[in-house]
Structure 1
Amino acid sequence: MTTSTGVETMQVKNETAPRPELAQAFFSDADHGPMVMVNLLKFKDKATYPDGRDHELSGREAYDRYGAGVVACLEKVGGRVVYSGPVSGIILGDVEELWDAVALAYYPSPQAMLQMVALPEYQAIEIHRYAGLAGQLNIRTKAPQ
């Protein structure tokens, strides 16, 4: 898309789950070793659990429950949280709405990420992720080996 000043803009679409075709391509990349996932997070104003519980929680508070549990899940597959914090501003570029937080997670491989999401303890906390997130972007980067 081009603006009236002739500058190219990028359309951004936050999602809460990967589209199947993108997930297949992502996890079938045999040439990809260690990676750092950049997570740009947008929270719901209020948490929305399917069973209606904890309706007084903010989306951020629900996601924090997920974040507290995901640390142990990452460690089980050889990963770790590199950084997590709130977005406080933007100096370059333009988006309609800023993300609320950024989290960087190291994984030894895409397969380690698949192993993590298959863990029963991960599946038990994932409800908090969906309850709190309005959407996010996940960007894979190559980590130094």
Structure 2
Amino acid sequence: MKVENAVFPQPEQAMAFFGGAEDGPFVMVNLLKFKPKAEYADGSDAHLTGAEAYARYGEEVRKLVEGLGGKIRYSGHVTGLLLGEVEELWDMVALAEYPSLEAFRNMAMSPQMAAIEHHRKAGLAGQLNIRTKPGLGF
């Protein structure tokens, strides 16, 4: 299995994801890896860690998610690995529930998201976003 963190999806990934069929609510699993130090394009806030810069983004995203009827279900720091093997662990896991693919798309393309994206870019070394649906009943 190849694992590759990214900060932004490739155009073909985004088109496939957002072009999928609408099938109601889903939970996005976010596996986050932070930069040691924040890297703002204008050089500001160089004293911040990547996690601190991302926290600025995270707080505003929470408001956006809740505003569209979603919810941040969980966020926590990764503290260990019991099973499997990865070259480097992620720093944090966050679970965000969205009411629909359309709602997520609207949020991702909104001016409000564009206004906070610089915090995400400054703090994030890479991530995986995994869309999930309720399944097997356990």
With normalisation by structure 2, the TM-score equals 0.93
Figure out how many residues of one structure are paired with residues of the other and give that number. Answer: 135
Partner deviation per Cα, 1:66-123 (whole Å, 9 max, x = no partner)? 0111111101221110000100101010001000000000011111111112232222
- Residue 87 (structure 1) aligned with residue 87 (structure 2): no
Instruction: Name the counterpart of 1:141.
Output: 132
Deviates more, 1:82-91 or 1:113-122: 113-122
Task: Write the distance in 1 (CA, Å) between the matches of 2:97 and 2:134.
Answer: 8
Deviations 1:7-35 (CA, angstroms, capped at 9, x unpaired): xxx22100000111111111111143211
Greater Rg over alpha carbons, structure? 1
Q: Which residue does the alignment assign to 2:121?
A: 130
- Specify the alignment match of 2:100 in structure 1: 109
TM-score (norm 1): 0.89
Tell me the residue number matched to 1:33. 24
Percent identity, please: 59
Unaligned runs of 5+ in 1: 1-9
In the alignment, structure 2 segments of 5+ residues that lack a partner are: none
Q: Give RMSD over aligned pairs.
A: 1.2
Tell me if 1:11 matches 2:2: yes
Secondary structure (helix, strand or coil) at the match of 1:97 reads coil
- Kindly report structure 1 stretches of 4+ aligned residues shifted beyond 4 Å: none
